[in-house]
Chain A
């Protein structure tokens, strides 16, 4: 079967910074790929390149067998690539349900049908009670849920999620994990999920890729990646799969990465 996404030797520089260096991977339909790596390792840049916001310096991306080089972000969205952001980017003065309708602005979907789809997806993520509220009044975690529901409005084939669990309460995190799995299994949606914490991805991702300084330094099952010596080195020996189960090491590694300061996405 043809992969949803085929990435070949993708490179992207910002001045002297190499954000992506010959990144290659493939994503099978209906599977979840986990993407980890320290701050500034190029995870967000990879997502931005995949949905057409950045143009790669070299390399090729094929989505459903088709090169995406000349496609704009909105065209890729139309073809079925959707997205959430590292810091939730909801439209603050729009209500929750208006946020949901934005992706359908050009769709030939009747108004009532679009609203019904929005309502169903909001119920799916447990936000149906907040429909009429301005999105600014949602909590940070709820905004992440809204982003996820909004990303599903166009019935995408591939959803790129940048740190969906960052700063999210365990309860909402559990809901999000469950809904991602449901979307994958029942709607055959493929995902690329960026996360700092390998444990979050254990139950979801079949394959994990670890990036460092723009390069893929390890790939494989969650178990393989978390035990990979380069990965452990990249995470300063703190964030290996086993090590992270101890609370103290998990705190120290994440606080290090907070200070290390990537770029504000």
Chain B
């Protein structure tokens, strides 16, 4: 009797939580959609970058956060996506819109080629291999003819005024980011997601209990690579010029990991919190620092790295499970290693 009541009460709170969650999400999406036409140009650009990094971080999180495989290779898939769009568009006259899914597919194929051998390694070895692969692809792209070598590729520009241009990319990244967040949410509440966490926590028992661990990790990598490839393609059209040093910069890989870590690994909310926290803080501090006399008019590009480093140290000291770890603790759930 009492347990029936208890169960009913629990079902009602669950239902209510979903309702409020849904309403909150709808409100946030609506707000972001309106912001695109309200805020000044440089903030449109900043938010586009935020959306792009959330997209990348959600993609990274599937393998890196849920399954606990530290992947420093996201920039490889991002770069492959950018270059696929660039090459197809400028050398094969493929319609720009069509190059975007093709970029995702190409990044997935590359992930399959590097991932299948790499995912047989565990722990530090996997992380190091992803670093090596990143360097190798950068070298490869710098030396190939089809990619334009070190001089890069000039992308065709959209036939609009600069402001409309920025808004188009704002909405493109916003839409894709929402899809990525939704995907992460679905994964987190599925058996696939539980099995990924099981791999992170104790891989041998997971396999013994029937989880095809290598295949699951590969799937997680491929999903992330597809998202990164698509992000890379849109980035390429956005910046209008791609070259190996910037597009394959290891900074991108590292930033994605840091932002996910700060937000909270293995939660769909982690990137949504961590990315804006870091990018907006860096942006605000950059503006403030511009006022200081000793920087003059030029703030060195390393400025962001210093800010990210300080945020990382603060998070490591104050919130070892990221911001989401704090949120869960407030909700009364204990997290243990």
Asked if B197 contacts A101 (CB within 8 A), the reply is no
Which chain B residues numbered 163 to 221 have a C-beta less than 8 Å away from chain A? 191-192, 194-195, 197-198, 201-202, 204-213, 216
Say yes or no for A77: interface residue by CB 8 A criterion: yes
Question: Complex formed: what's the CA distance from A173 to B266 in Å?
Answer: 35
Task: Report the nearest A residue to B205, measured CB to CB.
Answer: A89
Q: Decide yes or no: A105 and B216 within 8 Å by CB, A91-B201, A92-B337, A98-B194 being known contacts.
A: yes
Whether A244 is near chain B, meaning CB under 8 Å from some CB there, is no
The verdict on B331 contacting chain A, using a C-beta distance below 8 Å, is: no
Q: Which residue of B lies closest to A154 (CB)?
A: B210
> Looking across the interface, which residue of chain A has its beta carbon closest to that of B197?
A94
CB pair B208–A93 under 8 Å, yes or no, is: no
Please give, as numbers and ranges, the residues of chain A lying within 8 Å of B210 by CB-CB distance: 74, 77-78, 103-106, 154
B191 touches A114 (CB 8 A): yes
What 0/1 readout, one digit per residue, does chain B (33-45) give for beta carbons within 8 Å of chain A? 0000000000000
CB under 8 Å from chain A, chain B span 285-337:
333-337
Closest approach, in angstroms, between the C-beta of B304 and any C-beta of chain A? 32
Q: How far is the CA of A83 from the CA of B210 in the complex (A)?
A: 10
A239 to B334, CA, bound (A): 42
CA distance A93 to B264 in the complex (A): 13
Number of chain A residues close to chain B: CB under 8 A = 32
Q: How many A-B residue pairs have CB under 8 A?
A: 88
Q: Is there an interface contact between A102 and B204, defined as CB atoms closer than 8 Å?
A: no
Contact B213 A74 (CB under 8 A): yes
CB <8 Å contact, B197 and A74? no
**Is A126 an interface residue, CB under 8 A from the partner?**
no
**B194 and A136: CB pair below 8 A?**
no
Residues A93 and B201 in contact, CB atoms below 8 Å apart: yes
Give the complex CA separation of A104 and B192 in angstroms: 9
A93 partner, pick from B207, B211, B335, beta carbons under 8 A: B335
List chain B residues, Cβ under 8 A from A85. 205
Asked whether B204 lies within 8 Å of A103 as measured between CB atoms, the reply is no
| Distance, CA A114 to CA B190, complexed state (A) | 11
The residue that B202 contacts in the complex, of A77, A89, A98, A137, with Cβ under 8 A, is A89
Q: Which of A72, A98, A137, A150 interacts with B209 by CB under 8 Å?
A: A150
**Chain B residue, CB-CB nearest to A147:** B205
Q: B208 to A51, Cβ gap below 8 A?
A: yes
Chain A proximity of B295: nearest CB distance (Å):
43
- Set of chain B residues within 8 Å of A195, measured between Cβ atoms: none
Q: Which residues of B contact A140 (CB under 8 A)?
A: none
Report if A134-B209 is in contact (Cβ < 8 Å); known contacts: A53-B204, A102-B195, A105-B195. Answer: no
Q: How far is the CA of A235 from the CA of B333 in the complex (A)?
A: 45
Q: Is A39 an interface residue (CB 8 A)?
A: no
Within A114-166, the residues touching B (CB, 8 Å) are: 114, 134, 136-137, 150-151, 154
What chain A residues lie within 8 Å of B202 (beta carbons)? 89, 91
Q: Is the CB of B211 within 8 A of A105?
A: yes
**What B residues does A92 contact at CB under 8 A?**
201, 336-337
Measured between beta carbons, the chain B residues less than 8 angstroms from A94 are: 194, 197-198, 201
CA distance A150 to B197 in the complex (A): 16
A103 pairs with B335, CB closer than 8 A:
no
CB-CB < 8 A to A93: which residues of B?
A: 197, 201, 266, 335-336
Q: Is the CB of B208 within 8 A of A73?
A: yes
Give the CA-CA distance A78 to B204 in the complex, in Å: 15
A82 close to B (CB within 8 Å): yes
Choose one: B191, B198, B208, B337; the contact of A91 (CB below 8 Å): B198
* In the complex, residue of chain A having the shortest beta-carbon distance to the beta carbon of B333: A134
A74 and B191 within 8 A (CB): no
When C-beta atoms are compared, the residue in chain A nearest to B266 turns out to be A93
Q: Which residues of B contact A91 (CB under 8 A)?
A: 194, 197-198, 201-202, 205-206
Residue of B nearest to A156 (CB): B210
Which positions 37-91 of chain A face chain B at CB distance < 8 Å? 51-53, 72-74, 77-78, 82-83, 85, 89, 91
A104 and B212 contact, CB distance less than 8 A: no
User: Which residue of chain A is the closest to B216 with respect to CB atoms?
Assistant: A105
A102–B209 CB distance below 8 A: yes
Report the nearest B residue to A85, measured CB to CB: B205
CB contact under 8 A between A102 and B198, given known A73-B208, A77-B209, A85-B205:
yes
Known contacts: A91-B202, A102-B194. The answer to whether A77 contacts B208 by CB under 8 A is: yes
Residues of A contacting B194 in the complex (Cβ-Cβ under 8 angstroms)? 91, 94, 98-99, 101-102, 105
Q: Give the one of B201, B206, B213, B334 with max A CB within 10 A.
A: B201
Contacts of B212 in A (CB 8 A): 74, 106
Contact present for B207 and A105 (CB under 8 Å): no
Check A134 against B335 for contact (C-beta < 8 Å).
Answer: yes
> Would you mind naming 20 contact pairs between A and B with Cβ atoms under 8 Å apart?
A73-B204, A74-B207, A74-B208, A74-B209, A77-B210, A85-B205, A89-B205, A91-B206, A93-B266, A93-B336, A98-B194, A98-B197, A99-B194, A101-B194, A102-B211, A105-B194, A105-B210, A114-B191, A134-B333, A150-B209
Report which B residues bind A (CB closer than 8 A): 191-192, 194-195, 197-198, 201-202, 204-213, 216, 266, 333-337
11 extra A-B contacts, CB within 8 A, seeds A74-B207, A91-B194: A53-B207, A73-B207, A73-B208, A74-B209, A83-B205, A89-B205, A92-B336, A93-B197, A94-B198, A102-B206, A106-B210
- Top 7 A-B residue pairs of the complex, sorted by shortest distance between their CB atoms: A77-B210, A105-B195, A136-B336, A89-B205, A103-B209, A91-B201, A73-B208
